[in-house]
Amino acid sequence: MLENSVPLSHYLMLSATLFVIGIAGVLIRRNVIVVFMSIEIMLNAVNISLIAFDNYMNLSNGQIFSFMVICVAAAEVSVGLAIIIALHRNKPSVNLDDFNLLKW
Amino acid sequence: MELLIFYPLAGFCVALALGVIFNKSPVGSAISLIGMMLGLAGIFVLQQAHFIAILQIIIYAGAIMVLFMFVIMLLNLKQGENEGWASREKNLLLSVLTGFLAIGILYKIWQVLFSVDMDTPASLPDSFGTVAVIGETLFTDFVLPFEVASILLLTAMVGAVVLAKTKLD
Residue A16's closest chain B neighbor by CA? B106
Domain that holds residue A37: 8-92
Domain that holds residue B70: 1-79
Asked whether residue B109 is assigned to any structural domain, the reply reads no
Say whether A92 sits in a helix, a strand or coil: coil
pTM: 0.86
Task: Report yes or no: B126 and A59 within 8 Å, Cβ to Cβ.
Answer: no
* A14 interfacial to chain B (CB closer than 8 Å): yes
Asked whether residue A62 is assigned to any structural domain, the reply reads yes
| CATH, residue B71 | 1.20.120.1200
Q: How many domains does chain B have?
A: 1
Asked whether residue A48 is assigned to any structural domain, the reply reads yes
- Chain B residues close to A51, C-beta within 8 Å: 44, 47, 49, 52
What's the pLDDT band for B14 if we cut at 50, 70, 90?
very high
> Residue A29: which of B73, B35, B63, B17 has the closest Cα?
B17
Q: How many domains does chain A have?
A: 1
- Distance between CA atoms of residues B51 and B125, nearest Å: 15
| CATH, residue A21 | 1.10.287.3510
- Chain B residues close to A70, C-beta within 8 Å: 52, 55-56, 59-60
Q: How near does any CA of chain B get to the CA of A101, in Å?
A: 18
Q: What share of chain B is helix, strand, coil (3-state, %, to 5)?
A: 75, 0, 25
pLDDT, mean over chain B: 83
Q: How near does any CA of chain B get to the CA of A104, in Å?
A: 17
Asked whether residue A2 is assigned to any structural domain, the reply reads no
Asked whether residue B17 is assigned to any structural domain, the reply reads yes
Asked whether residue B39 is assigned to any structural domain, the reply reads yes
The predicted pLDDT at position B83 comes to 55
Asked whether residue A102 is assigned to any structural domain, the reply reads no
Q: Quick check: B129 and A76 CB within 8 A?
A: no
> Residue A83: which of B70, B163, B11 has the closest Cα?
B163
The predicted pLDDT at position B122 comes to 62
CB pairs under 8 A between A and B: 252
Query: Using one digit for the tens of pLDDT, what is the confidence trace for B100-132?
Result: 888 888 888 777 777 766 666 567 777 787 888
Asked whether residue A101 is assigned to any structural domain, the reply reads no
> Residue B129: which of B54, B73, B63, B29 has the closest Cα?
B54
Asked whether residue B12 is assigned to any structural domain, the reply reads yes
* A27 interfacial to chain B (CB closer than 8 Å): yes
Asked whether residue A12 is assigned to any structural domain, the reply reads yes
Asked whether residue A103 is assigned to any structural domain, the reply reads no
Write out chain A's pLDDT in tens, 104 residues.
455 678 888 888 899 899 989 988 888 888 888 999 999 999 999 999 999 988 888 888 889 999 999 999 999 999 999 988 888 888 877 777 777 777 66
